[in-house]
A and B are shown apart, each in its own frame.
Chain A
Amino acid sequence: MEKIKVKICCGTSCFVMGAAQIQVLEFDPPADIKDKIEIEESRCMNYCHNTAAKYNRGPFVEVNGELIEEANFEKVVNKIREILDGTKD
């Protein structure tokens, strides 16, 4: 099965607002998703410039191209699990 692509924005704004902490996925991912994800640390994806609320909606993470705003570890893991559950059927 193709791995789920997790793209963590590591522009300064996202990094400071919490993206740095989401990198825990690289070191200590939950066992059920461990082998099924591929992490990419991205340069600024420019979402912070495009949204009206500016950096207040960050950090931004893309999971298989789907955008998560105000991302944190739980939100990202839940999204990954949702995609995995969907592919089981």
Chain B
Amino acid sequence: MLTPKNNANQMRTRILVKIVEKFLNNRFEDADRIPLELRPKGEPFNRCCIYKDRAILKYRCMASMGFAPEDEKDELTSLKEYGQTALKRKTHADNKLSVITDACSACVKSRYMVTDACRGCFAQPCQVNCPKQAISIIDGRSHIDETKCIACGRCQEVCPYHAVIRVPIPCEEACPVGAISKDEFGKEHIDAKKCIFCGKCLHSCPFGAVVEMSQIVDVLKLLNDSDKKVVAMLAPAVIGQFPGTVNQLIGALKKIGFSDVVEVAVGADITTQNEAAEFVEKMANGEKLMTTSCCPAYYKAAEIHIPEIKPFVSHTEPPMYYTAELLKKEQPDCVAVFVGPCLAKRIEAERNPNVDYVLTFEEVGAMLVAGGVQVMDCEPEEFAKISCAQGRRFPISGGVAGAVASLVEGKADYKPVAINGLNKANIKLLQQYATKGCDYNMIEVMTCEGGCVAGPGCIALAKKAAIMVENYVKTGADLKEKQ
């Protein structure tokens, strides 16, 4: 995916930087200045006026502190008060994605629209081909009756003037599982029971109306508590997400208060070994299919939306699990913070007592920015445990299946396929594979197109990050030789 970040994404990073800055300066004493500082008087605004911009910014700040827009009991509660409440809480906020109702533009529901290009022709193929008689000619132009239209798209296909356009609702279009939908006023809402935390709605909303509850304040608090040992577990997708080398990043993270830094790719090597062993065993037992389990959004989707595929999902734990297990064995008193590209890891952490917090690269980036740390100037340090090439390639589509392949070789017949990006069509495909069978026996599923390097919490360009990951893979030892 080669779309650079847009204003809405960039603003989220700026907000996070401000939140860290206000925490470091005076523990949120003047947090209410953030909307004013980000939208100063006299500068251009995006919504109807500067004041609405600022009001929405306040909601976005709240989410960065872990409060959902719907948590608001009194509109006059200040950001300072929210900040102080966040500093007092013992556990992080409930993980969820929310829509800021006042920022949601309630995109038009009608999916097909006749534009000015309609010439009101004699042939009227749109009207003739409409299966629901939804099209009539009003004032010499085609008109679609929204109440009858079933959005089949026939009128668009047959119009010789290309006068019919399809107007999508970006968030609904992006959500692979139908978890986001309109209320009676046209505003979008996320159904927590259906949400798989992929973050696609958050990225696709052109109004920046979707927010996610951050744990950044909770971690900041611990990093600045000298009694606490906070350890960062860096997801394999970390390569290329920051300037400098990953070894310099270890030094940089220690500067902002982490006591130790470990590589989750080490856990990915264990996942590879266990998943390969599980595959060989299952095939020997005559099973027809196995899918990977390490993508937490896919895992959740399989659990609640694709019951057909669920029996085939691998029981091997994801890399974060093994990494946290090793870490807590060695440092039982530490606070384990997973740092990655993924929002769904937050729900995976809920079922793992060894993982205390989950941050995104963007959130850690904001900490480095506000802390004034230049990664490129930091002293490089080595990881205590070094990962192998197999584990390092996990964040790229095809990486997990490839890693498992290297260990299955010669022990079982291996026919892999990669589902690169979970969308509505690929969910149907998975259902078919499970019920009707397929030519493959190993399915790797990654919810983000391109793999974790394209995750919603990433800083770097997916394509560039993928190249950097491949280079890092080349410097790693072969797991086969290590066994």
**Chain A: residues with CB nearer than 8 A to chain B?**
10-13, 15-18, 20-24, 26-28, 43-44, 55-56, 72-73
Contacts and interface: CB of A to CB of B under 8 A. Distances in A.
Interface stretch (B158-166, B315-323, B368-376): B368-376
Contacts of A15: 242-243, 365, 459
Contact of B17 (A11, A24, A55): A55
Please name the 8 residue pairs, one residue from A and one from B, whose CB atoms are nearest each other, closest first. A16-B365, A21-B4, A73-B4, A21-B5, A20-B460, A24-B4, A13-B369, A28-B2
Contacts of A16: 13, 17, 242, 362, 365-366, 368-369, 459
Contacts of B366: 16
Interface string B430-470: 00000000000000000000000000000111011000000
A59 B386 CA distance: 34
Contact of B10 (A11, A13, A17): A17
Given A12-B243, A12-B369, A27-B464, A18 B5 contact: yes
Contacts of B368: 12, 16
A64 B61 CA distance: 37
Given A20-B464, A56-B37, 6 more contacts: A10-B243, A11-B243, A18-B13, A21-B5, A24-B461, A56-B14
Contacts of A17: 10, 13-14, 17, 369
Interface residues of B, number: 29
Nearest to A25: B4
B463 A22 contact: no
A41 B162 CA distance: 44
A23 B13 contact: no
Given A12-B368, A17-B10, A23 B374 contact: no
Contacts of B373: 12
Tell me which of A15, A23, A72 has the highest count of chain B C-beta atoms within 10 A of its own C-beta.
Answer: A15
Contacts of B459: 15-16, 20
A57 to B, nearest CB: 11
Nearest to B376: A43
Contacts of B10: 17-18, 72
Interface of B: 2-5, 7, 10, 13-14, 17, 37-38, 242-244, 252, 362, 365-366, 368-369, 373-376, 459-461, 463-464
B374 A44 contact: yes
A1 B366 CA distance: 40
A72 B370 CA distance: 20
Contacts of A44: 374, 376
A20 to B, nearest CB: 5
A10 B241 CA distance: 11
Nearest to B367: A16
Contact of B376 (A11, A20, A24): A11
Contacts of A23: 460-461, 464
30 contacts: A10-B243, A11-B243, A12-B244, A12-B252, A12-B368, A12-B369, A15-B243, A15-B459, A16-B13, A16-B17, A16-B242, A16-B366, A16-B368, A16-B459, A17-B14, A18-B13, A20-B459, A21-B5, A21-B461, A24-B4, A27-B463, A27-B464, A28-B463, A43-B376, A44-B374, A44-B376, A55-B369, A56-B37, A56-B38, A72-B5
A13 B376 CA distance: 11
Contacts of A28: 2, 463
A21 B6 CA distance: 9
Contacts of B13: 16-18
Contacts of A43: 376
B2 to A, nearest CB: 5
